Structure formats: C-alpha cells, structure tokens
C-alpha cells in the first residue's frame, strides 16, 4: 500500500496565538495515511485534530515539517495556484455544519459546483452529478431545495458535492457532530460505502468512539501530537491511557474493564459487538 497523505514532524501555530507561550496547535506531528485506508482521528477538543485536517488540503500551511499528498510535497509555500487546486481536487473535505457548505439553491446545482469550478465539460458534469447523488442515495432529491432536507440528507448532499470532483481521499471534519442519531447513521453508512465500494481513502475526525471503531486505523491526538496509534482493538484495549487523553472508551470496553477490576476476572479487552461481549462476560462469570 502506498501512502497518500504523509505528515513529517509538522508543527503549526495559529497566528493570533503568537503572544501565548507554547500554544502550538500541532507539535511535531507525524502521520501516515495509506491509499484506500479508513483512518479515524480521535482527540479531545483543542487536541489539534481539525488543524491537522486543514493542513492536508492546503487550507493552512505548516510552520515547519513536511506534508506529502500522493508523493508530492505540499508544505512548500511557493506553490502555483493550479497545483493547489489539484491537491484540493484530490483531497476533498466535508465539514461539520451542512448548512455552511451548500452553495446553490437546488441539490443538483450544488453537487455540480465542484466539477464546474474544475472546468469539466457540461455533459460530463451531468453524468458525475447523477452518479454522485446515486452513491449517497439522494437521487430522488435532485431537484429539491437544500434547506428543506434533514441534517443527514444535507450532509449527504455535501458529500455528493465532494464525490463529484472524483477525489482520492475525503476528510470528514466532525461531519456527524451536528446530526441526530439517525442522520449520523445515514452519514456513517455512506462513508463506509465510499471506502469499501468506491475505494476512496477516508480520514474521519470524530469524537464518537462507536464511529472510530469502524476504522482500519485509529490515531489518538493529545496536545497537538500523536498520542496513540493502532487498530481499534489495540487502541481501545487501553482504557486508562485513553482516559488520560480526555476521551471515553466504548461502553462494552468500559464494562469489561470494570468487571475485570471489581470481580478479578480476566476477560480480554477488545472491540466486540453486543452478542460477543455478552457471551464473554457470561463465560467469565460462570468460570
């Protein structure tokens, strides 16, 4: 697997924090995201996870360190504008508030916005828009007004708007944070489908543990640096360490951890679905 996004010892400080001592939003962060991978980035508020995302498609440029997208260095300050847009075309980004990323008054016009900016010929835009709306399951809403849709539907339209640019990678910057549970589920299913069926690399920035569980790799950030990294199983089986980063652990792990301590059991920690979890606890208690 080749790496699609690579951060090497990246540091970043927001300009208006100059007077504050040691207020690095990112501090010597190194990160490797492989092609086709689904990576979840977890972290407490202010841990630098959104800043890291903004560096990946050149909304921000790092103060020091190097960033590569598809092998190309993008931390160079003197890049041509056309190259910047080439990077942004390949690394799409979906934000938190669906209302603030929809531009047009009709769903299909909004999805067409990205390809229109790229100068794609009209017939091909039409095709891409239909495909993108189909992938997110919003085809029957093509002629609707966005403000009449639910939060989850709006967010899916925003995702379609990114897919229509045919990116290699999509970053979701807390894209489910403002949605109700149903909308969150809709969007997560769409994200999974994009990763599995469309082979798009996914970077999911979130603070919902049950979303991070679905990833191939979990990166936990704390105070602007990488704090933990591994498969969901590896990361979530160390609840004490996660608590120190100000994060919760999935409920099943919290339960097993508590049982192990209180009853001196030895159930292995890991990410389980509900039935496996119940089975493990039952067996352990019977013993």
Partner 1 sequence: MAFDVSLGQYYEGKSLIHKLDPRTKLIYVIMFMVSIFVAKSIYAFALLSVVVLLTVIFSRVPIRTILRGLKPLIVIVAFTAILNIFWTKAESDPLWQWKFITIYKEGLINAGLLALRIILLLVETTLFLSYTTTPIELTDGIESLLAPLKLIKLPVHEFAMLMTIALRFIPTLTDETSKIMNAQKARGADFSSGGLIKRAKALIPIIIPLFVSSFRRADELATAMECRCYRGGEGRTRMKKLKFKVKDVFGWLFSIALLAGVILMNIFLAEYGYMI
**Which range touches partner 1 (CB under 8 A), out of 9-17, 125-133, 220-228, 259-267?**
125-133
Q: Which is nearer to partner 1, 17 or 251 (CB)?
A: 17
Q: Give yes or no for residue 38 binding partner 1 (CB under 8 A).
A: no
Give the C-alpha distances (Å, rounded to integers) separating 4 from 7, 11, 170, 171. 10, 20, 11, 12
Q: Say how far apart CA 286 and CA 248 lie, in whole Å.
A: 29
By the 10 Å C-beta count (0-12 exposed, 13-18 middle, 19+ buried), 242 is classed as buried
Stretch in the footprint of partner 1 (CB under 8 A) among 12-20, 113-121, 186-194, 216-224: 113-121
Q: Is the dihedral of CA 31, 253, 212, 44 positive or negative?
A: negative
- Nearer to partner 1 among residue 32 and residue 86 (C-beta): 86
7 φ, ψ (degrees, to nearest 5): -110, 130
Contact region with partner 1 (CB under 8 A), list: 25-33, 116-124, 182-190, 209-217 = 116-124
Residue 128 vs 217, nearer CB to partner 1: 128
How far from the centroid of its chain's Cα atoms is residue 204's Cα? Answer: 1
Count CB-CB contacts under 10 A for residue 103. 12
In whole angstroms, what is the distance from residue 215 CA to residue 262 CA? 31
Question: Of 198, 24, 164, which Cα lies nearest the Cα of 94?
Answer: 164
75-104 residues in contact with partner 1 (CB under 8 A) are 81, 85, 88-89, 92-93, 95, 97, 99-104
Size of the site for partner 1 (CB under 8 A): 41
From the list 44-52, 122-130, 203-211, 213-221, the region that binds partner 1 by CB under 8 A is 122-130
248 binds partner 1 (CB under 8 A): no
Query: Is position 134 an interface residue for partner 1 (rule: CB under 8 A)?
Result: no
Give ∠ CA 19-23-24 in degrees, rounded to 5. Answer: 125
Looking at the Cβ atoms of 124 and 279, the one nearer to partner 1 is: 124
Cα separation, 203 vs 169, in Å, equals 8
Residue closer to partner 1 by CB (options 114, 239) is: 114
78 or 147: whose CB is closer to partner 1? 147
Strand stretches in the chain, DSSP E: 3-12, 26-34, 38-43, 64-69, 72-73, 91-94, 169-173, 201-206, 217-222, 225-230
Q: Which residues pair with 222 in a beta bridge?
A: 225
Residue placing its CB nearer to partner 1 in the complex, 99 or 279: 99
Q: Which of these segments, 109-117, 132-140, 200-208, 260-268, binds partner 1 (CB under 8 A)?
A: 109-117
Residues in CB range of 170: below 8 A, 6 or more apart: 91, 92, 93, 94, 159, 162, 163, 194, 200, 201, 202, 203
Residue of 147, 181, 240, 261 interacting with partner 1 (CB under 8 A): 147
For position 250 contacting partner 1 by CB under 8 A, the verdict is no
If the CB atoms of residues 88 and 184 are measured against partner 1, the closer one turns out to be 88
- Binding residues for partner 1, rule: CB under 8 A, are 57, 59, 81, 85, 88-89, 92-93, 95, 97, 99-106, 108-109, 112-122, 125-126, 129, 145-148, 161-162, 165
């Amino acid at each position: 697997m080749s790496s699609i996004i690579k951060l090497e010892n990246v540091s970043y400080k927001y300009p208006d924090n100059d007077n504050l001592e040691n207020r690095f939003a990112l501090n010597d962060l190194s990160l490797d995201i492989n092609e086709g991978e689904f990576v979840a980035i977890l972290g407490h508020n202010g841990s630098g996870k959104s800043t890291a995302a903004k560096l990946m498609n050149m909304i921000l440029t790092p103060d020091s360190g190097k960033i590569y997208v598809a092998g190309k260095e993008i931390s160079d300050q003197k890049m041509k504008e056309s190259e910047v847009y080439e990077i942004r075309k390949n690394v799409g980004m979906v934000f938190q508030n669906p209302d603030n990323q929809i531009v047009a008054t009709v769903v299909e016009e909004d999805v067409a916005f990205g390809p229109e900016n790229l100068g794609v010929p009209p017939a091909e835009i039409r095709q891409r828009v239909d495909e993108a709306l189909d992938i997110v399951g919003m085809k029957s809403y093509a002629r609707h007004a966005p403000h009449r849709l639910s939060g989850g539907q709006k967010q899916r339209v925003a995702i379609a708007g990114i897919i229509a640019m045919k990116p290699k990678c999509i970053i979701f910057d807390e894209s489910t944070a403002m949605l109700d549970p149903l909308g969150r589920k809709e969007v997560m299913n769409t994200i999974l489908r994009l990763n599995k069926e469309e082979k798009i690399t996914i970077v999911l920035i979130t603070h919902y543990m049950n979303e991070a569980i679905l990833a191939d790799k979990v990166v936990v950030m704390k105070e602007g640096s990488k704090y933990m990294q591994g498969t969901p199983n590896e990361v979530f089986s160390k609840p004490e360490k996660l608590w120190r980063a100000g994060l919760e652990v999935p409920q099943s792990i919290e339960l097993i951890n508590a049982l192990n301590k209180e009853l001196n059991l030895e159930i292995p920690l890991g990410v389980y679905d509900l039935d496996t979890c119940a089975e493990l606890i039952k067996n352990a208690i019977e013993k």
